[in-house]
Amino acid sequence: MTAVDALLLALGAVAVGSALLVVATRHLVRAGLYLVVCLGAVAGMYLVLAAELVAWVQVLIYVGAVVVLLLFAVMLTRAPIGASDDLDRPGWPATLIGGGTGLGLAALLIDAYRWTTVQVPEAGTAERLGAQVFGSWVLPFEVLSVLLLSALVGAIVLSRPDIGTTRPARSSTGDGDEVPGERGRSR
Amino acid sequence: MPLWLELVVRIGGVLAAFLVLPLLVGQAEHKVMAHMQGRLGPMYAGGFHGWAQLIADGVKFVQKEDVTPRAADRPVFRLAPAVALMPYLLALLVIPLGPNDLVGQPLDIGLFFVLAVVGVGVLAVLMSAWASANKYSLLGGLRGAAQLLGYELPLVLAAASVAMAAGTLSLSGIVEAWQPWWLLWQAPAMVIFFVAGLAEIRRPPFDMPVADSELVFGYLTEYTGLRFAFLLLAEYVGIVVIAALTTVLFLGGWQGPFADAQLGWLWTLLKVAAVSFVIIWLRVSFPRLREDQLQRLCWLVLVPAALAQLVLTTAVRLAL
C-alpha cells in the first residue's frame, strides 16, 4: 500500500464518517458543518487523484457557496443551539433506502473491478479540462448553462408574485407613490 | 539545498509574513488614522512613537479571560477563529513575492486556489455568529454572509478578466505577462476587484456586519481574549492578502522601474504597502454603507461593470 492509497482511504473514511454524522446528528447547524467536512474530504480525494482544478472547484462551489447558502437559510428560519429532538422523523425508512443503495452500489463496483489496478490518469490541469469541456463536451456544457439560466429565471418568477399580475389602479392622490401596504397585500 | 530544508524555509517565510505583515499594517493603521484625524495615536509603548503598541495589545489579549457564553455552542464557538485565520494563511502560501519561484508554493492554478480558499472565510462568520447565541451576533453574521456571497461574484469576475488577459491562472504567470498599459486596459477590473475585496474583508465602508452603533460588534460581540485577537488578526491578514492580490493581478507584482530580478520582492512589498495605505485611507474617509446601499452597489454596479470588463478584455484579446 502506497502513501497515496493510505491517504485516499483516510480521506474516504473522513468523508463517510462525517456524512453519517450529517444525517445522524440532532443539531441542525452542526449537520451543515459536518457537511462541510464531508465535502472538504471529497475535495481532498480529488486532489490525491491529481484532479487539481476539480478539487478547488469543489471547495469554491460546494464549501464556499452551497453549504453557506444552506446554513444561511437554516439560520434565517430556525436554528436552535443544542439538540432539537422534535425534528427527528422515524429513521428506519431512510436507513433502509440509504443503506440499501450504498450496499448495492458497493457490491456492483466491487464486482465490476475486483482487484484490477488502475493507473492514475495524467493530472487534471485547467488547460486539459478546458480543452475537454470546450472540445468534445461543448454541447452538454451549453445545455447545462441553459438549464441553469432557466432555473435562475424560474427562481425570480417564483419569488416575485407581482410579476404578471395586473397592477391595481393607482389612487388619484398618490401621484407616482405606491399606496401604503399595497406591496404587502400583493404578495 | 535538500528538499526538506527548502520546505522548512518556504513555510517559515510564509509564517513570518503571516505574523509580521498584519502587525505592520495594524500599526500603520493606528498612526495613519490618528494623523488623518489630527491626533498623535499611540506614543508611549516601546518608546519611539509607540512602535510596540500592538505587541502590548497582544500581551493584554493573552492576559484576558477567555469567556465562552453559557448558551453558546462551545465547540463551534471555539473553532470559529481558527477557521477565520486558515484561509488567509493558505492564500499567502501561493502569492509570489518575486521572480524565480520566490513564493511559498508555486501553483499552476494559483489564482483559482486563492479565490477558492478565501471564499471559505464566510463559514467562519456564520459559525461565530450562530454559535454565540446572541441576536446581535446572528444579525451581524447574516449580514456578513449575504455581503460575502454577493461580493464574491464581482471579485471572481474581475480576477477572471485579468486571467483571460494573461492567458494563465498562475499568479507568477500573470505577473510575467503583465505590461504597463494593462493599467489602463484592466483599470475597471482593478477598481471592481479592490472594492469587492474590501467588502470581502468587511473593512469600512463595508463594515455593516460589525456596525458598532446598531449591532454592538456583530459576530465578534461575544469574543474575548485570545480568540478575539485571532479574529482581529484575520481582518488584518485579510488586508494584506487583498492588497497583495491587487498588486499581483493588476499592478504588475514584482515588476518595478529597475532590477526586477534582484529587487522584485522590494517592489512587491512597496506596492502591497501602498494598497494597504489606500485601504486604511478609505476607512477614514467614507461613512459606512447602509445594508441596502451595499447590496445595490454590488448587484447593480459592480457585477454589470465586471461583465462589461470581461467583454472588453475578450475584444482586445481577439483584436491583438
- Summarised one tens digit per residue, pLDDT across range A110-163 is 888 887 877 777 777 778 888 888 888 999 999 999 999 999 999 888 888 777
Rounded CA-CA distance A31/A40 in Å is 14
Per the CB < 8 A criterion, the answer to whether B154 and B181 are in contact is no
Min Cα distance B283 → chain A (Å) is: 27
Contact partners, residue B114, CB within 8 Å, separation at least 6: B91, B94, B95, B171, B241, B245
Amino acid at A19: A
Of A33, A64, A72, the CB nearest to B142: A72
Question: Helix or strand or coil: residue B279?
Answer: helix
pLDDT digit string (tens) for chain B, length 320 residues: 778 888 888 888 888 888 888 888 888 888 888 888 888 888 888 778 888 888 888 888 888 888 888 888 888 888 888 888 888 888 888 888 878 777 777 778 888 889 888 888 888 888 888 888 888 888 888 888 888 888 988 999 999 999 988 888 888 888 888 888 888 888 899 999 999 999 988 888 888 888 778 888 888 888 888 888 888 888 899 999 999 999 988 988 888 787 777 787 888 889 999 999 999 999 888 888 888 888 889 889 999 999 999 999 999 888 87
Q: What pLDDT was estimated at residue B120?
A: 86
Q: What pLDDT was estimated at residue A169?
A: 58
- The answer to whether B135 contacts chain A (CB < 8 Å) is no
Q: What pLDDT was estimated at residue B70?
A: 83
* Domain ranges within chain A, ordered by starting residue: 1-80, 125-161
Q: What pLDDT was estimated at residue A175?
A: 46
Q: What pLDDT was estimated at residue B278?
A: 92
Of A30, A64, A71, the CB nearest to B120: A64
Interface of B with A in 87-106 (CB under 8 A): none
* Partners of residue B102 on adjacent β-strands: B98
Rounded CA-CA distance B154/B309 in Å is 11
Of the two residues A92 and A42, the one the predictor is more confident about is A42
Cβ distance B108 to A125 less than 8 Å, yes or no, reads yes
- The answer to whether B115 contacts chain A (CB < 8 Å) is yes
Of A59, A68, A72, the CB nearest to B117: A59
* Partners of residue B98 on adjacent β-strands: B102
Min Cα distance A84 → chain B (Å) is: 13
Cβ distance B120 to A52 less than 8 Å, yes or no, reads no
- The answer to whether B158 contacts chain A (CB < 8 Å) is no
Q: What are the start-end ranges of the H helices in B37-134?
A: 53-63, 74-94, 110-119, 121-131
* Domain ranges within chain B, ordered by starting residue: 69-319
CATH-assigned architecture of domain A1-80: Up-down Bundle (1.20)
Its pTM stands at: 0.84
> Residue B163 has which C-alpha cell?
486571467
- What Rg, from alpha-carbon coordinates, does chain A have? 24
Q: What pLDDT was estimated at residue A145?
A: 92
- The answer to whether B127 contacts chain A (CB < 8 Å) is yes
Beta-carbon contacts below 8 Å between A and B: 77
Half-sphere exposure in the Cβ direction for B280 (13 Å, CA) = 23
Residue written as grid cell 470581502: B200
Give the number of other Cβ atoms within 10 Å of residue B225's Cβ: 15
Q: DSSP secondary-structure letter at B104?
A: S
> Residue B277 has which C-alpha cell?
495605505
Cβ distance A71 to B126 less than 8 Å, yes or no, reads yes
